[in-house]
Amino acid sequence: MRKKLVRRQTTRIRKPKKKISIFSGKLVRFSVVTFFILFVLGVGYHYRNGLAYYFSFKSNKILSKAAEGKRISDVRNFQVLEKNEEKSIGLDVSEYQGKISWSYVDTLEKKYPLHFVFIRATVGKDRKDRQYNRNWLGAKDNKMIRGAYHYYRPNENSLEQAALFIKTVRLQKGDLPPILDIEKLPKNQSLDSLKTGLKRWLKAIELHYGVKPIIYTGEKYYDDFLKDEFSNYLFWIANYNFYREEMDDDWLFWQFTEKASVPGIKGNVDVNIYNGDLQQLQYITVE
């Protein structure tokens, strides 16, 4: 006879669920809030001088309407200027600033004297800046050290661009060397072709004026494409990053903001710092 199989019923033992402590969630929230508060306090302490300046804590003056409208970028600008107050400060302008009242262009934030100005002269192979003549003469009358720059178009003939700049700009004793402004990558040519064109422009300008040009570009463009191959040139670097407050040693000029207010100029204007004082700036001018 076959024995009947008897199935035994097994009882499953359920593991007790872990209790979720309300304190763990509170701890996470507390940690996040604490970190945020400490971060804000740290930023506030770091920018204490700039904040005090704009909210008149130093002089206990009543806030004016102009001061109320200041942006956080202005606080950072003041912080940068304070850290570099021994260095020479200047501007760069073009037709985008409209008609500038040069006799009023004297100081930044009513504290920092403006010593120099870069003026856009030409664009590509066929366009002269609409305000160049006016700005070039106005800066001279205002006793500012002036320099002329060319906005380079990568997809246009480099020698034709150099010829336009030479035709437009007549440097005098006390002016800054010519500047090549390169910001864009080419569309229809290789990087090697771009670099060849830049070198041709630079050589043509140096041959004509008898002085080595300066190159303007953004920091990333400089690091990625120009730093190594054009190391025998001096650079004017643009970097507006909030965390940067000092320039690198190998920069000749630093364009640290595009959002500054200057008497005599409507709207925003770029501000630059020379990596030295006024006497050192005069040393690099055309003789």
> Do 41 and 115 reside in the same domain of the chain?
no
> Do 37 and 98 reside in the same domain of the chain?
no
pTM reported for the whole predicted model: 0.78
Q: Which of 92, 175, 181, 219 is catalytic?
A: 92
* Number of domains forming the structure of the chain: 2
**Domain containing residue 65:** 24-70
Tell me the CATH number at 95: 3.20.20.80
CA-CA distances (angstroms) from residue 110 to 105, 113, 215, 255?
Answer: 11, 8, 30, 20
Evaluate whether 83 touches 47 at the Cβ level (below 8 Å). no
Whether the per-residue pLDDT at 6 is higher than 60: the answer is no
**Is there a catalytic annotation at residue 183?**
yes
Alpha carbons 269 and 4: distance in angstroms, whole number: 98
Beta-ladder partners of 181: 151, 216
Which pLDDT value is given to residue 254? 98
Write out pLDDT tens, residues 216-264: 999 999 999 999 999 999 999 999 998 899 999 999 999 999 999 999 9
Write out pLDDT tens, residues 210-224: 999 999 999 999 999
Write out pLDDT tens, residues 85-127: 899 999 999 999 999 999 999 999 888 999 999 999 999 999 9
> Do 49 and 104 reside in the same domain of the chain?
no
**Is there a catalytic annotation at residue 228?**
no
Q: Which of 85, 126, 160, 183 is catalytic?
A: 183
> Do 186 and 251 reside in the same domain of the chain?
yes
